[in-house]
A and B are shown apart, each in its own frame.
Chain A
Amino acid sequence: MTPKALGQLRICDFTGQLAGAGATKWLAAFGAEVIRIEDPVKQGTWDILRMLPPFVDERRGVDFGGGFNNHNVEKHGITLNLRTEKGRELLYEIVKRSDVVAENFAAGVLAKMGLSYERMKQLRPDIIYVSNCGFGHRGPYASFKTWGPIVQAVSGLTFTSGLPDREPAGWGYSYMDHTGACYMAIAILLALLHRQRTGEGQWVDLSCTDAGLTLHGPALLDWSVNGRPLRRPGSPHSNRSEQPARAPHGIYPAAGDDEWVAIACRSDAEWQALAGVVGEPWAQGPRFAALAGRLAAQDELDARLAGWTRGREKAATVAALAAAGVPAAPVAKPAERIDGDPATSGFGLWPTVRHSKMGDVRVDGLPVHFSKTDWELRRGGPCLGEHTEAVLGRLLGLSPDDVAKLRAEGVV
């Protein structure tokens, strides 16, 4: 049996949506015991993905959200009514037996429920407590509410995706939910390493807008060093490559309905190779031979190249350019990259998990492999309260009768 890299860890998991749940998915995939704590009164619907599409069939309800399943594979799910004294006591007992508390409520929500870091630390001095929200727990906007697209708007990611003289195109999904989850996982792992070396726990304040703002790198230095803003005429033009300066560099039409191909010429040599494949008179000769000439006439260059790509299948263009040593790629549609791409299926990227009600479902795997302690995803996301009895029994020694009594009292 493959050893579990994180098999010695237990996570008390208050996370939801993708920005939080994605972090603990990583931990669960490497064997950590992740216990989701959900509210029986609201049926766990604070995490709206429990109810939302996609659905495997016509069944609906809190146990059928496909996104929830995707982000919560391999986790355990229990319900605890934390409004009740008994519910809070049970939670405290779980925290005493946990290494990490992970949460992505709006700032201050858990503290108001009596579940602050300070309180948790009294229960378990070396507890690691990672809070993840849109603007962090400190600062003028700490009380502001966000979801993925708002984080992306404020942290500059929406603006930097688009064509000049138009409104921003932005990201067509919650990129910062994925990325916030990554930073949350990194924060948890770093804090665990610190505890492994020193025995000390700590609190981490993760602000997704901070994390998003780190992702512009050199462009922000161009502002702070050279005073050059990204908001200026002609900018952004994000399919192009202004820095490093490259041309042609873009996304061009291909034969068919809404088919596109990406081409990225990194050097004069690659341009010569591209010009050779294109073979049309405009591409030959000295005018475009050097980068400066191509940069000076990018609109024309793009239009001419688009004229060549438009009549060709994207796969044929990519194959011809690759053979000539020119970077190119199809703009892949979901079916093409999931069911038609050996580099994802061969990597084992789409594992099938077994969900208690949905049955067998394919999910996003992890984009890495470990030679000794690789990840494994087999069990689907937990139905609401699916593991209440098992977890309270195993962890706290409660009998099924005890749990039945708690259920009757509205605690679980």
Chain B
Amino acid sequence: MTVLTGVRVVELSHERGAFAGKLLADMGADVIVAEPPDGSALRRWGPFVDDVPDPERSLAWWHYNTSKRGVVIDLDGAAGRERFRRLVARADLVLECEDPGRLAGLGIDYADLVREGLVWVSITPFGRAQPGRADLATDLTVLAAGGPVWSCGYDDHALPPIRGGGFQGYNIACHYAVMSALTALLWRGVSGEGQLVDVSMHAAANVTTEMASYNYLVQGTTVQRQTGRHALETLSLPSQVRCADGRYVNTGVPPRQPKEYAGLLRWLRELGVADQFPEAVFLEMGAQRDFIDLSKIGQDDEVTAIFAAGREALNFAASRLSAYDFFVGCQRAGMPVGAIYAPEEAFEDPHFVARGFPTPVEHPELGRTIRYPGAPYRFEKTPWRIGRRAPRLGEHDAEVFGEASTPRR
């Protein structure tokens, strides 16, 4: 029994919204994901298990459909639409990402199937009533037109701006879809009423740009991208450093408080390299002060030297350590820095392993137990969990409809 146990969700499988269904299913909702007879398009996305392309071996399908049950529904046929109506009739929530107008054209949209208490969450590229070619939206186009891409990239503007990896354009919309679904369910618990929720992926990207949007809204300025740090109207100092093992770290905000200078100096001494760092004397001065007035940088020689020494000490330590040793050592010395991990490095890191992040899931057909990405949050009483591996095509037709389907393979 966990938070959403007993909440029945019907999801029309789509790359745009599969992650939202997973977030609900991993918290206990009974999510029935409906695929067309030839399977969800996600099943054709790689990578595949052992690099063998097969609709049952798609890791994209596996990841985004944990804890769900799966059925086949052919919305282009009358019998399939009847199946969909039957499912919706006993659902608490519908999650769909069809291009605006498609379901209405088939007579199975919210307006056709509405009943007391039904919550219907629709994720579309631009919103249900906005202009734009929904059929041509992809993760790349959403992030480019929606603002995030403008802020990401390199100091060298001859290089293109960069789209961050991992389908974040879809993820952003899915987060808002889940927040919406839960808010609507809470209201239903109070009032008994359901409603239609219209999620715009484009709008979601637009309000996920931090200062790029609100600096423009408030003062009309345009931020400019810089390597590895916040896009701003003016250039800031670099914050990524290459360590002795060739990997990068983010050195964060340079030390500013006396206790940070003291911690940094103590750490350099522990490492036995303090005497090789010529500016160590300025760290000592910083540590001995009661207060360091940063507004005096550039005016007061001593403050300027202390601040510069703090920055330089981080670069110095990084040049002598691996990224991991720099990260852990510098954090223990009291400064917020981070190793720039590849995802698999974080997945194997002792902290994430100790928190139980890698989550084993049985795949009996393959005789394998696979480690999946784990919980985004830790509930004391109603834990996140992966209830089952993603469904095989039509796996739950019989138990859901009382009859098996005939998937086209």
A residues with a Cβ closer than 8 A to B are: 3, 5-6, 8, 18, 26, 30, 53-56, 66-67, 69-70, 135-136, 138-141, 143-147, 149-163, 166-175, 177-179, 182-183, 185-187, 189-194, 196-197, 200, 202-207, 209-211, 213-226, 228-231, 236, 238-239, 241, 243-245, 249-253, 258, 260-262, 264, 266, 322, 325-335, 337-338, 341-344, 346-347, 349-350, 361-373
Contact = CB atoms under 8 A, between A and B. Distances in A.
Contact of A328 (B136, B178, B217): B136
Contacts of A215: 166, 168, 171
B140 A262 contact: yes
A151 B183 CA distance: 27
B340 A153 contact: yes
Contacts of B101: none
A239 B143 CA distance: 11
B182 to A, nearest CB: 4
20 contacts: A53-B219, A54-B221, A145-B331, A153-B250, A153-B341, A161-B164, A173-B209, A187-B379, A193-B4, A210-B355, A211-B376, A224-B347, A224-B372, A230-B344, A236-B165, A331-B161, A370-B180, A370-B196, A371-B197, A372-B187
B100 to A, nearest CB: 12
B67 interface: no
B377 to A, nearest CB: 5
A239 B226 CA distance: 17
B216 interface: yes
Nearest to A238: B165
B338 interface: yes
A333 B347 CA distance: 35
B343 to A, nearest CB: 3
B19 A173 contact: no
A74 B162 CA distance: 34
A63 to B, nearest CB: 14
B278 to A, nearest CB: 26
Given A54-B219, A147-B253, A210-B355, A167 B242 contact: yes
Interface stretch (B127-135, B288-296, B308-316): B127-135
Contacts of B354: 138-140
B208 interface: yes
B63 A221 contact: yes
Contact of B138 (A191, A219, A327, A368): A327
A329 B59 contact: no
A158 B228 contact: yes
A176 B242 CA distance: 23
B303 interface: no
Nearest to B249: A153
